Structure 1
Amino acid sequence: MSRHLAIGALFAAILPRGAIADGYGLIGWGKTMYDPPCTFACRGVISKCPLLCTPKDSAVNHGSHHNPVSTPPECFTSDPAFLRTMALCINTYCPTSDAPALSKIEDYWYSHLGTGSIGNYQYVPVISYTEALIAAREDERKGVQFPNNTSTSIDEHGNHNMLRARIIRRNGDMNTLPTIKSKQPLNVTSVISASDWKLEYNGLLNFETNEKGHSTYTIILMLIALFLPVILSLLRFVPGLKRSKWWSYFNSVLNYPALWGSNHREPVAMIAGGGLVPTRGQSMYIALISVLNIAFLVGPYVYLSPQRTFGSRSEQNMSVMGCRAGALALGNMVAMFVFSSRNNVLLYITGWSHSTFLLLHRWLGYWTIIQTVLHSILLLAYYNKYGDYASELVRLYWIWGIVGTVAAVAIWPFSLLIVRQKAYEFFYFMHIVLIILFLVGYYYHIWYVFEYRWGYEIWAFIAIGIWGKDRIWRAGQMIYHGWRTAKITSVEGSNSEYLRIDIDGVHAEGVVYLCFPTLGLNFWQTHPFSVVSSFARHGSQQATTTKSILQDSEKQAEAEITIASPNQSDTASTSSVPPAEVVSRASIVIRTRTGITSRLAARLAMAGSELRLPVLIEGPYHSNVSSQLSQCTTLVCIAGGVGITGVLPHLHQFGSPRHGRLYWSMRDTALRSGLATEIADLPASIQVEISAGKRLDIESIIREELAGRTGDGLVGIIVCGPAGLADDVRKHATGMTSRGTTRAPYILIDEAFSW
């Protein structure tokens, strides 16, 4: 073995098993396609030429899906004519194009010569690049030429045999080596014409440049979608900003109001299937993501001419834009999955509400669907016009692509607001099924066309990881809380309109998701509720219990938490009396509507005054409202019906020297009686106004609390109740400030859960 070959063998041997020469990651971000492109261009010209060792009529494809090659890797790395021709081509064209270092050429020689675009050090050439070049120059010096009757024959093994060539000496400037012709047998050292090499070189360089663009713009889109909320949330740390009158004016004009009209929580019928109008602040985020999706789709692109890959700019645009749309769909998809997660870390970093992230999740979902559909339509049109549509249609990658596209499109009608409201459990089931079909279809669409060559599968792994991790974490929370028993009773005087759920042995704050395995066929579903933890000290100590009623979040429920600590004097008691057992309890009160709440009410009616059911608990998920209210000197809480439970916890924490006011309206007095203890326990600095059987005059309340204020303290306005009530508070608070009726600094918090 020669010295150069020994070095090459050692170079291949020390690499990790299974290593590839193109790196890891995405194209342009850790992974290269054609580096250096001049070497790949040489091989691209001659890879379709049969060699002496190429099997005759072989059905095995040793190339890629859209670039089939019948010659096996071992043949490329052992055929003298191919090796010498490649070395001669590299030495001729690389110095004047990419000018790669000799080490890079040698790396290409030992990693790509046998396999082409996907590097693999497993296939080591029988001679080194330097040896092949020396042999090629010797053939060039002596010259080889075949008589007119020279031809090839086929031996008994089906291999090509070239008749012996007659070697002649160079005669002046006469080219002594034959020029390669596409798809013609390559039997001796040959040269590649400059025009053929240039066509291949431009095509490869053009293709990889645009592929890098796909990766780059997809990453940019994903990062902006994910981290723009983080950047915007940093404004809350600017000293004095929240207390600024100009900041309140800005929020009243460009952030808090609905994009149009006055409905934000109230569905708008003009949107197909019913929909929610985003606020202006949310709309600016949506507008930016939409502009980026459009801008990155239409360009920029590179087009080099002449080239072999695409025959015209219009042909390239159709293909490359289709691929770009598919890539951008993946960037939207990743952010979409993050925003939908109940364990979304951005909830804690930004302080934004889960409802806001769910609204942005839906809009990212729209763009995922749009880009997926554009990807399918553009490439369908491309293969129908420029390719072989009939053959593509039956390939597995195409079939799985259809599965993913149809699943993505179907998600939209099954997720309309009217479906979520009228048939939540059906929506929940179909959402999971279609998401799984979309992910499976996308994964196999990538795998069957690229396998793990170009990194597109990474996006699938990220999305599956986010989705799977969230569900594993949820299951872990259920296991942590264990198998519990829920006691369901009717709230006295409510005629079963309100139900109380008490779960002993559980301490929870915020929102939890409950699963009742024995309640119905969809035993695996979880439903969100707001809870309060109650503590009772038994034995010789005085019992202290704090209760709170909370609304079922199943229909845009509003809820929060109230936590009471044991009396300090009791806690500090005595060394002589043994400490009593502390039992925790999660108490939940829901309003009976449809779905799970109606089934609970029906089962309770059959059981009598009390119903006990097994329950699994996921959560809790905490609210970030308290941190937003930390700078407020005044708190104004406006509640409707059971929405009182969303504001009571904040009022309990908002004691002297700060003061607050509660405005609470309800249809009847049953709920007021049930919450009499909680109302009586409010700090003395909290004023309470309760109205039964009539609506609150929101305009007068906001005018009194903002326009009638003196001083520069920050006012916190919390609304929790029906959608119409919340929209009225938003309309009057922003309207008075934007019109100049008041300059009092305030923050507006809408305590609501929505999908």
Structure 2
Amino acid sequence: MGIFWAVVVAVGVVNRALLKWEACRPRASWTQQRRHVWFKRNILAPATFGRRCVQDFGGWGTLPPRVQTLTLTLFVLINIVCSVHGYRFFEGYGYYPTIGMQILRHVSDRTGIISFANFPLIWLFGMRNNVVIWLTGWDFKTYNNFHRWVGRLAALQAIVHSVGYTALILQRGGWDYFWRMCKMTYWWTGELATIFMCSLVGLSVYWLRRRQYEVFLILHIVLSILVLITMLGHVSIFKGDYDALVWVPVMIWVLDRVVRGARIVAFSPQFWNAKARIAYNEDAHMIRMVVPMSSSLYSIEPGTFYYLMVLNKWNFWESHPFTVASVSREARCDAVSLNEQSPLLNYSSTTSEEVRCWSGKSEQEMTFLIRPYDSFTLRLKEYADAQRPKPATVRVAIDGPYGKPLHLEQFGKVIFIVGGSGIAVPLSYLDRLTRSPSRPKLIHIHWAVRQCALAVDVLGHELSSSFNSGQVKINIYVTSVDSRRTEDEGICRLAEWKFKRLNVEEAIDGALNDGQEGSLAVVTSGPARMADESRYAVAARMVRSSPHIEYFEESFQW
């Protein structure tokens, strides 16, 4: 098991090194990658089957991209081979005289050991801070898929282990012998461990993770602790030979929490005193959270995200990820109050008067755009509603940054296909793309929204200064029939408005056939159906006769 994942991680490390090398080469080098088109079109880019990758199958779960599915399939096959191959059976083996009893004994023994050997992998892949993410550069969503499937396989092996030994005990001595065995610590703790593992898998179904995430998380943590405790009792008869398979997951969990705490302190050394302003725009159905970051020990990178925790109530431990939409510098003066907002990392357009005004009283702030749905985001809306019309102030802890910036400036053209609050992703990249020496010739944002008010609000705050470069175009697709554009016409003229559903294939074809040469990057952040349509459309257009095209999906899955 360890060798298999070591090879997978090594492939990821080599791939990351090659990507960094390619990023340092001239843009023309993209044409040299056409020999890899078949592999990207058929292995790397597409969904496992058809078009569904982010969308769930009837509420029961999702399938990862094809390359991840192939990796997991190979891992399952290796586990099956290791569970069934290499036994020697013979008549006359004293303790297990029949071939059937020998099969039960050996298969049960080996599946139990392999299941236990998978424990460190399960915990490692399930942590948001782990060394393999840092080594390979793959996102947390990738390793979360590995975490779930390795966990399911380990639970299945535990079932085979427990059922096999139970059948063996019943064959040897019947129910009387079974009940005597149940009084032995290693036996009943092993049975409980299997029950807890099966409960973990059963209570991690997709619909529960999506609809009741906090309930899922509490159950997941409690059951994981119970699994480790009962497994420690189960292997106690081996005098410590297998104890490392319990303590390694514990150390992985502790290290993850220590790194989380370090990230929180690095963002705000006095995190218990850090405060954020929350305002809710009812017409736009959008929360704008503004967090001061003057005490942060690091700068903000485009495309990174943070886990937000609100410390006001008992559920302060809940944390949810959001992408930074913009960074602004707010200045406060005695005579005049300035408030200039800009796209991420854009501070060079300030005047000398503003700089003088900022001296001693300036403060950097980062903005999150959050759609209120239920649970955590609904509580944010309630905080904001309680203080309307003034912004609400809440104490927050910020855990981050996570993710890595995409090297979109290496492409000739970049299009963003986003929906709703997914606009935060292009917002975070606009400054880098418009100011980079090797900036793309075209940056085209296709944004689907339900409310016109949301688009007008973002156009007036975060997007307005990005149109000065002349390379940014934005199409807004309003999907709600009762939305009307009644706001400032000057702001509205910054974008092209279309009152219809966004056609992803038309948007991508338009970028490919606009008459300009160059490679194309397609970045998606939005609803599951939009992401899957984008993935399918890009994979279908990865052909030698077309310009080089790459697909990037900015989404998060529990």
TM-score by length of 2: 0.83
Q: Distance between the aligned counterparts of 2:83 and 2:198, measured in 1?
A: 19
The aligned residue for residue 252 of structure 1 is 41
Q: Which of 516, 521, 525 is residue 318 of structure 2 equivalent to? A: 525
The aligned residue for residue 184 of structure 2 is 395
Q: Which of 457, 473, 477 is residue 687 of structure 1 equivalent to? A: 473
Q: Which amino acid aligns with 1:546?
A: Q
Q: Which of 477, 499, 509 is residue 287 of structure 2 equivalent to? A: 499
Check the 8 A contact 1:477/1:617 in 2, yes or no: no
The aligned residue for residue 528 of structure 2 is 723
Q: Does 1:316 align with 2:106?
A: no
Q: Does 1:511 align with 2:511?
A: no
Check the 8 A contact 2:411/2:520 in 1, yes or no: yes
Summarize deviations over 1:609-636 as a string: whole Å, max 9, x none: 2354543424213332424x35322211
Q: Distance between the aligned counterparts of 2:12 and 2:96, measured in 1?
A: 41
The aligned residue for residue 421 of structure 2 is 642
Q: Unaligned stretches of 5+ in structure 2? A: 23-28, 480-499
Q: Distance between the aligned counterparts of 1:685 and 1:605, measured in 2?
A: 38
Q: Distance between the aligned counterparts of 1:254 and 1:530, measured in 2?
A: 28
The aligned residue for residue 590 of structure 1 is 370
Q: Does 1:371 align with 2:157?
A: yes
The aligned residue for residue 697 of structure 1 is 503
The aligned residue for residue 443 of structure 1 is 232
Q: Which amino acid aligns with 2:306?
A: V
Equivalences for 1:590-629 in 2 at 5 Å?
590-610=370-390, 612-627=392-407, 629=408
Equivalences for 1:52-71 in 2 at 5 Å?
none
Q: Distance between the aligned counterparts of 1:578 and 1:700, measured in 2?
A: 46
Q: Which amino acid aligns with 1:748?
A: Y
Q: Distance between the aligned counterparts of 2:200 and 2:370, measured in 1?
A: 29
The aligned residue for residue 430 of structure 2 is 651
Q: Distance between the aligned counterparts of 2:89 and 2:74, measured in 1?
A: 28
The aligned residue for residue 535 of structure 1 is 329
SS of match in other structure, 2:360: coil
Summarize deviations over 1:319-366 as a string: whole Å, max 9, x none: 222222122223332222222211123223222222222122211111
Q: Distance between the aligned counterparts of 1:479 and 1:714, measured in 2?
A: 41
Q: Distance between the aligned counterparts of 1:650 and 1:578, measured in 2?
A: 25
Summarize deviations over 1:549-586 as a string: whole Å, max 9, x none: xxxxxxxxxxxxx3333547659979xx9943442323
The aligned residue for residue 288 of structure 1 is 74
The 3 A distance-change label for structure 1 pair 533 and 327 is: farther
Summarize deviations over 1:416-456 as a string: whole Å, max 9, x none: 11111111111111111111111111122112x2231x2x1
Cα shift at 1:314? 4.0
Q: Which amino acid aligns with 2:275?
A: T
The aligned residue for residue 51 of structure 2 is 262
Check the 8 A contact 1:243/1:746 in 2, yes or no: no
SS of match in other structure, 1:426: helix
Q: Distance between the aligned counterparts of 1:441 and 1:616, measured in 2?
A: 36
The 3 A distance-change label for structure 1 pair 544 and 227 is: farther
Summarize deviations over 1:510-555 as a string: whole Å, max 9, x none: 3222222334x5332222222344333455999574367xxxxxxx
The 3 A distance-change label for structure 1 pair 247 and 680 is: farther
Q: Does 1:671 align with 2:460?
A: no
Check the 8 A contact 2:409/2:439 in 1, yes or no: no
The aligned residue for residue 457 of structure 1 is 243
Q: Distance between the aligned counterparts of 1:413 and 1:292, measured in 2?
A: 24
Check the 8 A contact 2:420/2:526 in 1, yes or no: yes
Q: Which amino acid aligns with 2:119?
A: M
Q: Which amino acid aligns with 1:422?
A: R
Check the 8 A contact 1:243/1:745 in 2, yes or no: no
Q: Distance between the aligned counterparts of 1:326 and 1:221, measured in 2?
A: 19
Check the 8 A contact 2:386/2:392 in 1, yes or no: no
Q: Which amino acid aligns with 1:409?
A: C
The 3 A distance-change label for structure 1 pair 544 and 348 is: farther
SS of match in other structure, 1:546: strand
The 3 A distance-change label for structure 1 pair 753 and 538 is: same
Q: Which amino acid aligns with 1:565?
A: Y
The aligned residue for residue 280 of structure 2 is 490
Equivalences for 1:135-534 in 2 at 5 Å?
218-224=1-7, 226-236=9-19, 239=22, 240=29, 244-269=33-58, 273-301=59-87, 310-386=96-172, 388-447=177-236, 449-452=237-240, 454=241, 456-480=242-266, 481=268, 482-483=271-272, 484-491=274-281, 493-494=283-284, 497-505=285-293, 507=296, 509=300, 510-519=304-313, 521-531=314-324, 532-534=326-328
The 3 A distance-change label for structure 1 pair 295 and 446 is: same
Q: Distance between the aligned counterparts of 2:104 and 2:352, measured in 1?
A: 76
Q: Distance between the aligned counterparts of 2:353 and 2:553, measured in 1?
A: 36
SS of match in other structure, 2:406: helix
Q: Which amino acid aligns with 2:216?
A: F
Q: Which amino acid aligns with 1:602?
A: E
Cα shift at 1:381? 2.0
The aligned residue for residue 166 of structure 1 is none
The 3 A distance-change label for structure 1 pair 485 and 237 is: closer
Cα shift at 1:228? 4.9
Q: Unaligned stretches of 5+ in structure 1? A: 1-217, 549-561
The aligned residue for residue 138 of structure 1 is none
Q: Which amino acid aligns with 1:298?
A: V
Cα shift at 1:478? 3.6
Q: Which amino acid aligns with 2:305?
A: V
Cα shift at 1:403? 2.0
Summarize deviations over 1:703-748 as a string: whole Å, max 9, x none: 222356664x33211011111111111122212336x7x5221110
Q: Distance between the aligned counterparts of 1:403 and 1:571, measured in 2?
A: 70
The aligned residue for residue 360 of structure 2 is 580
Cα shift at 1:463? 0.9
Q: Which of 332, 345, 354 is residue 563 of structure 1 equivalent to? A: 345
Q: Distance between the aligned counterparts of 1:489 and 1:332, measured in 2?
A: 46
Q: Does 1:751 align with 2:554?
A: yes
Q: Distance between the aligned counterparts of 1:618 and 1:591, measured in 2?
A: 18
- Aligned-residue identity in percent: 23
Greater Rg, structure 1 or structure 2? 1
The 3 A distance-change label for structure 1 pair 330 and 237 is: farther
Q: Which amino acid aligns with 1:377?
A: V
Q: Distance between the aligned counterparts of 1:242 and 1:617, measured in 2?
A: 45
Structure 1 segments, 4+ long, off by >6 Å, are: 571-574
The 3 A distance-change label for structure 1 pair 570 and 617 is: farther
**More helix by proportion, 1 or 2?**
2
The 3 A distance-change label for structure 1 pair 382 and 439 is: same
Summarize deviations over 1:481-526 as a string: whole Å, max 9, x none: 21122222113742xx21122233454743222222334x533222
Summarize deviations over 1:632-678 as a string: whole Å, max 9, x none: 22211112222111122223211364222222222222122222243
SS of match in other structure, 2:447: strand
Q: Which amino acid aligns with 2:40?
A: N
The aligned residue for residue 143 of structure 1 is none
Q: Distance between the aligned counterparts of 1:244 and 1:666, measured in 2?
A: 36
Check the 8 A contact 1:547/1:587 in 2, yes or no: no
Q: Distance between the aligned counterparts of 1:720 and 1:729, measured in 2?
A: 10
Q: Distance between the aligned counterparts of 1:308 and 1:238, measured in 2?
A: 62
The aligned residue for residue 552 of structure 1 is none
SS of match in other structure, 1:536: strand
